[in-house]
Copies of this chain bind each other. A is one copy, B any other.
């Protein structure tokens, strides 16, 4: 199992990272992936993702352990931004390479649900009336609760 877990302080290209991941796993039957971006709707000018060094990256490694323990994968990639992001910028890329497609799908689905509402990130948006802290939607909590986490 090749693992690539990164907490990124600068902008990144999910397409490029995904291309490299695919090249690194030529033997896998399937690769599932998800890219999450800052939605350029409303009047959101900037998004800030706050991390805490003693928890955020270690927590992402723990998440990777959970994913690897739960599904037989050939490779797992979790890249997540921290810092200030403009609308349209990539926040997160998760990719899983596996022999069987459902394993790859579920691994990515699970990791995204965890990152949304169970990982050590804090998010705020700057709108025309100032900064607002964002908490997970009810839907995010329901998504995560599907996995007994």
List residues of chain B with CB within 8 A of the CB of A30.
34-37
> Given that A15-B18, A27-B39 are contacting pairs, would A34 and B139 also be in contact in the complex, using a CB cutoff of 8 Å?
no
List residues of chain B with CB within 8 A of the CB of A26.
37, 40, 88
Task: Report which of B18, B29, B34, B143 forms a contact with A36, defined as CB distance below 8 A.
Answer: B29
Q: Tell me the count of chain A residues lying within 8 A, CB to CB, of chain B.
A: 34
Least CB distance, A111 to chain B, in whole angstroms: 11
A112 at the B interface (CB under 8 A): yes
CB <8 Å contact, B34 and A105: yes
CB <8 Å contact, A37 and B33: no
List residues of chain B with CB within 8 A of the CB of A116.
101
Could you list which residues of chain A lie within 8 angstroms of chain B, going by C-beta atoms?
14-16, 18-19, 22, 26-37, 39-41, 88, 99-102, 104-105, 108-109, 112, 116, 139, 143
